[in-house]
A and B are shown apart, each in its own frame.
Chain A
Amino acid sequence: NAGVTQTPKFRVLKTGQSMTLLCAQDMNHEYMYWYRQDPGMGLRLIHYSVGEGTTAKGEVPDGYNVSRLKKQNFLLGLESAAPSQTSVYFCASSPGTESNEQFFGPGTRLTVL
């Protein structure tokens, strides 16, 4: 099993450009999450999904949109990138059981100029 994969690994955007980050998991997990990690800080939740076709806002949702059309995929979109969105983005999935252990992807390093 590949676990959680993220595409792309690196990306540089200019202010105002748009892009989509793809997260895929092969563990049949119900829950999926998008986080951002900034230097010296922990992870902050952007959006999450509790199942196919559902999405919800996390702690820092502004400037981002998400979609979960298929159970195994969770897409994060930036419609008009801003320098404040320069960060490392992590996707995670969880089976949704009582323990809620989360499994993380390797991250996408995004720079917005």
Chain B
Amino acid sequence: SQQGEEDPQALSIQEGENATMNCSYKTSINNLQWYRQNSGRGLVHLILIRSNEREKHSGRLRVTLDTSKKSSSLLITASRAADTASYFCATDRGSSGSARQLTFGSGTQLTVLP
């Protein structure tokens, strides 16, 4: 079963606007990660936020985590056409013997129009 669920499933914005994607999960986690997937390509790691962190920045990316609501958001500021991709959240429950498995959500398809 999917641990993380992204919302919205699809998002279309104009270049220069901000894009916000949300992720909800069901069980306690060790960390939550966001990945990007360009069409026909493998996933690329973007950013990781640990369970004891509330906000993290990396360039134009801002991630928040609310463990009480079991949710996270990814904000991409000043979007560019090159940001067009699918974005996935992945949760690491960090349980022993799990080999640090990640459970992926179904993704948000972001389209940035020039």
A: residues with CB less than 8 A from B are: 4, 31, 33, 35, 40-45, 48-50, 56, 58, 90, 92, 94, 96, 99-107
Contact A107 B99 (CB under 8 A): no
Interface residue count for B (Cβ, 8 Å)? 22
Closest 9 CB pairs of A and B: A104-B42, A42-B104, A100-B100, A43-B104, A104-B43, A50-B99, A42-B106, A101-B45, A106-B42
Main secondary structure of the interface of B (DSSP, over half): strand
Question: Is B99 within 8 A of A43, CB to CB?
Answer: no
Within B14-42, the residues touching A (CB, 8 Å) are 31, 33, 40-42
B5 CB to closest chain A CB (Å) equals 9
CA distance A63 to B111 in the complex (A): 36
Q: Is the CB of A42 within 8 A of B42?
A: no
- Chain A residues with CB under 8 Å of B103's CB are 45
Chain B, residues 68-109, CB within 8 Å of chain A (1/0): the string is: 000000000000000000001000100000011111111100
Q: In the complex, which of the residues A31, A42, A58, A106 has the most CB atoms of chain B within 10 Å of its own CB atom?
A: A42
Chain B residues with CB under 8 Å of A96's CB are 99-100
* 20 contacts across the A-B interface (CB closer than 8 A): A4-B42, A31-B99, A33-B101, A42-B107, A43-B88, A44-B104, A45-B102, A48-B99, A49-B99, A58-B101, A92-B43, A94-B100, A96-B99, A99-B31, A100-B31, A100-B33, A100-B102, A101-B33, A104-B44, A106-B42
